[in-house]
Amino acid sequence: MERAKAKLIFVLRLTLAIIIILLSLNFRNIAKVLITMGKLPLTMIGGIWLLYVEGVNFSVDVGVGFRVFAGVAVEIGVIMQVYLNQAYNETRE
């Protein structure tokens, strides 16, 4: 369990770094990257709260699920950023 936890932490850090790099290349604006990544702490707090409410112990499967959960949260953030940018540009025209 300890080895799996250490690997999960390493992979989580690597995944976050790759996500930040890809968002930076996509948006070319650090403020938009920070807005999108700002969702992650709130998403993780919600996931931890749900684990507590349901009485589920943290395991390797739950750790993998949290990584997927973080990816979905970032994906939704990117979609919202693109939509808001398009809506803002349309109102300016």
The sign of the CA dihedral 24, 4, 67, 36 is negative
Q: Return the axis-axis angle of helices 39-54 and 30-37, rounded to nearest 10°.
A: 10
Phi, psi of 59 (to 5 degrees): -140, 180
Question: Which tokens is 31 given?
Answer: 């403020």
Mean pLDDT of 8-26: 87
Q: What is the pTM of this model?
A: 0.71
Averaged pLDDT score across all residues of the chain: 88
Q: What range does the domain containing 38 cover?
A: 2-92
The string of pLDDT tens digits covering residues 33-43 is: 998 888 888 88
Distance in angstroms (rounded) separating the CA atoms of residues 93 and 88 = 9
Q: What is the pLDDT of residue 12?
A: 79
The string of pLDDT tens digits covering residues 60-79 is: 888 888 888 888 888 898 89
> What's the total number of domains in the chain?
1
- Is residue 77 within 8 A of residue 42, CB to CB? The reply is no
Phi, psi of 55 (to 5 degrees): 75, 30
